[in-house]
Amino acid sequence: MGDIRVMRDDLKPPPPTERRHLLSVADLSRDDIERLLATARNFSRTLEREMKKLPTLRGRLVVNVFFESSTRTSSSFELAAKRLSADTMSIKSSGSAVDKGESLKDTALTLGAYDPDVIVMRHPQIGASHFVAKVTAAHVVNAGDGKHQHPTQALLDLYTLHEEFGRIEGLHVAIVGDVLHSRVARSLIQALDLVGARTTLVGPPTLLPRGVEAMGCETSTDIASIGAADVVYVLRMQRERMLEGANYVPSLREYTERWGVTPERLRAGQKVMHPGPMNRGVEIDPRVADAADALIETQVRAGLVTRMAVLYDLLTSGPVGVKAAQLTEVA
Amino acid sequence: MLFAKAAPGENLIVRGARVLDPAGKVDGVLDVRVDGGTIAELGSRLDPNNHRVVEAEGLTLAPAFVDPHVHLRTPGREDEETIASGTQAAAAGGYCAILAMPNTDPVVDSAAVLGSLAETAEAEAEVPVGFLAAISKGLEGGELTEMAELADAGAAGFSDDGRPVATPGLMRRALQYGAVANRPLALHCEEPTLSRSGQMHEGAVSAELGFAGYPSVAESLMVERDLSLAAYEGRPVHLLHLSARESVEAVRTARAAGVQATAEVTPHHLCLTDEAVRTLDSNLKMNPPLRSVDDRGALVEGIRDGTIAAIATDHAPHARHEKDVPFEAAPFGVTGLETAFAALYTHLVEPGLVKLELLLERMSAGPAAIFGLPAPRIAVGEPANLVLLDTKGGWRVQEDGFRSRSSNSWLLGQRLTGKVRMTVAAGRTVFEA
């Protein structure tokens, strides 16, 4: 009898999507990540000038479609597109045809009819941007799909780490909190694994997904295990995702008591990151959030240049790092 | 009780096929003569004698298949499937009998609804179809249906499929009172407080993709409850679409201890694992979900050793626009009638996991026995229920190739080996390709 573990080729998952889209960190190679970060660093130099706008994407159309609320992601994508001279259009679910029950497919086809170059999409359902990528001709950037992926957040986090430490390989990052409901954590775990950093997930057992270690990380339920990390990455306690009666934690009070990131639980000089928006006093002590070792504002600034790099990378081809450097000279 | 269009039996000779009836211990190149819908002679070089002759050299003639678990969506969702289209799909898949689940709108929970379905089937069913009735009124898990009257009206069995009988108290009453109706109880095993909003198997893949997990223990815990109640009451139970290793092990143990438990498994659970869900294709979303490679191994082993006696498609048609959405928004369920044999031949027989003879038995005599239906046989005097198979024939599954009204198949675009060339059901040719 044959081996049950052999799956026939046609039933295996398809190879990663071609680099027309940015849907998941799982689609990226280490080279892709390094190229994107190098491009972002080039853009950050242009932003130090008086004239911050580059002509690079003049005449291109970037459509931002946000089916979930967002401040920093939607604003930084919009600004990134504008800094590169692209035309932008923003659509939110409330007040759009989605309110009238339009399907995602029809929304995507409608937007596709304007021939956008890029559709940036956030949606509460896993795989929504993959779905839109299948039905439109535009490049699609996943700005968050349910609990699945938020690849530009992971890229900006890597950018931030590189700015702070001058390297990412070999760093030890402790991700603390509600991993189960976090697309930020999923993208970041994959990205850190890809560039050779070490990741430890720390949180209540109910919020650490079963089987998550296969993604290339360790897990711990003891907050003391953040002590060994170079960086403590605090996740938002996603109260809006907690189903009634799900009992992931008995109370927020007990969560904060056990897993809240406080000055007492940090080593001197230990860096702290948070994807925002923060619940001060829940997952993060306000003193930690406001301390000099917090890299939270750096993350927000990194968001802009990283998203510029992503838009640029999708809409141009060739050795992007080099070309971006040249462009910054002429701009 | 099965219902179908009344039609005269045919006169037919199938010439030169490998005749393979594992249960009847027939295996040889033979001609089969059918007179008026009944098998009249097996031999070589039979005289045509005005019979229609089907040349079948190089093909395999087997007892036609029996599917104990189909959703015909009628009444209520005739846009997805009708008795006519569903039985045509069954014919194309090599089936001579199918059983339809009662989770329709309205639910098949009264003799009136059942009677109207039987009447429709007698007008339009290409292959004989039986109807299960609900265990609880409206599938709500509150009150038992009038099981005795439903049995008299022809119910093939009872099931709240799509949902578990959530309380052990009602499940026990169904087992006790079910003795009066004396029809199989077919149970969907799912502990709802564990499956909750689960979208796929809980494991490494769901951890990575972020889907809410539907753990295997949500099934096996309910399997164990129902086996305990069946043992206590000394009544038989049939467990639908097993997916988890622990469930197979529980059934094996219970059977060894004398519990009258039977079980079925779907082609997709036998062929796929949760790895396939990485594609985010909504045609890989079903309940129970695709599970791990270990679970798949246990299901195949269950088929081999007889713990699982039946392969059932759980054919679940869905409208195109309802599946053409992100995975999380899609309803559970995939079609299966027209692809079951080819999928299983390609993924189990060709790689050497299951022998063809065993597959044929689990698709025909196995399920028939569970529901007290006569097993299709290739023997003189038996009604002609035959499927002619081309085990070398390759084909590609295409959206426009289905007789079903729906095309939410997990196999779209795939190349399969194994083609149904002809189906004879109740003495009549119902499909020919």
Query: Is residue B8 within 8 angstroms of chain A, CB to CB?
Result: no
Burial class (CB in 10 A: 0-12, 13-18, 19+), B322: middle
CB A71 within 8 A of CB A25: no
Partner-chain residue, chosen from A103, A128, A212, that has the shortest CB–CB distance to B321? A103
Alpha helix segments (H runs only) across B125-240: 147-152, 168-181, 192-195, 204-209, 216-233
**Between A and B, how many CB-CB pairs are < 8 A?**
106
ipTM of model: 0.89
Q: Annotated catalytic, A274?
A: no
Name the minimum distance, in Å, from the CA of A114 to any CA of chain B: 22
Comparing CA positions, the residue from B339, B338, B321 lying closest to residue B80 is B321
Residue A241, classed as helix, strand or coil, is helix
Q: Which residue of A has its CA nearest to B199?
A: A126
Residues facing B315 on adjacent strands: B70
Which chain B residues contact residue A209 at CB under 8 A?
206-207, 213
Rounded (5°) CA angle A298-A304-A306: 90
Which chain B residues contact residue A148 at CB under 8 A?
209-211
pLDDT at B133 (0 to 100): 98
pLDDT at A317 (0 to 100): 60
Contact B276 A11 (CB under 8 A): yes
CB A306 within 8 A of CB A40: yes
Q: Annotated catalytic, A73?
A: yes
Residue ranges of chain B with per-residue pLDDT less than 70: none
Residue ranges of E strands in B193-345: 200-201, 213-214, 237-239, 261-265, 310-311
Query: Is residue A100 within 8 angstroms of chain B, CB to CB?
Result: no
Tell how strand A198-202 and strand A218-220 pair up: parallel
Amino acid making up residue B176: Q
Contact B325 A149 (CB under 8 A): no
Residue A159, classed as helix, strand or coil, is helix
Check B31, B226, B295, B314 and give the catalytic one: B314
CA distance B169 to B166: 9
**DSSP assignments along A89-158, one per residue:** EEEESTTSGGGGT--HHHHHHHHHTT--SEEEEEESSTTHHHHHHHH-SSEEEEEEETTTB-HHHHHHHH
Query: Is residue A149 within 8 angstroms of chain B, CB to CB?
Result: yes
CB B168 within 8 A of CB B241: no
CB B154 within 8 A of CB B131: yes
Mutation site for B-interface testing, chosen from A17, A148, A241 by largest number of B Cβ within 10 Å: A148
Rg (CA), chain A: 20
Q: DSSP letter for A173, please.
A: E
Residue B418, classed as helix, strand or coil, is strand
Q: Annotated catalytic, B314?
A: yes
Q: What is the pLDDT of residues A103-136, one digit of tens each?
A: 899 999 999 999 999 999 999 999 999 999 999 9
Residues whose CB falls within 8 Å of the CB of residue A127, separated by 6 or more in sequence, listed in order = A145, A146, A148, B280, B326, B327, B328
Check A35, A83, A150, A236 and give the catalytic one: A150
CA distance B199 to B263: 24
Q: Which helix (H) or strand (E) holds B340?
A: helix B340-344
Residue B135, classed as helix, strand or coil, is coil
Contact B347 A5 (CB under 8 A): no
Rounded (5°) CA angle A283-A287-A291: 110
Q: What share of chain A is helix, strand, coil (3-state, %, to 5)?
A: 45, 15, 40
Query: Is residue A198 within 8 angstroms of chain B, CB to CB?
Result: no
B48 φ/ψ sector (left φ>0, alpha ψ -120 to 50, else beta):
alpha
- Both tokens of B152, joined, read 């008299």
Q: A54 φ, ψ to 5°?
A: -110, 145
Contact A211 B297 (CB under 8 A): no
Chunked into runs of 10 residues, chain A (331 residues) has average pLDDT values of 59 56 94 95 90 91 93 93 96 72 89 94 95 93 97 98 97 97 97 98 96 97 97 89 75 93 96 95 96 95 96 72 39 35
Restricting to A residues 40-99, those with a Cβ less than 8 Å away from any Cβ of B are none
**DSSP assignments along A68-102, one per residue:** S--SHHHHHHHHHHHHTT-EEEEEESTTSGGGGT-
Contact B278 A104 (CB under 8 A): no
Note the pTM of the prediction, 2 decimals: 0.93
Contact B207 A211 (CB under 8 A): yes
Q: A26 φ, ψ to 5°?
A: -60, -20
CB B93 within 8 A of CB B404: no
Contact B208 A8 (CB under 8 A): no
How far apart, in Å, are the Cα atoms of A94 and each of A45, A103, A112, A144, B307? 37, 14, 20, 17, 53
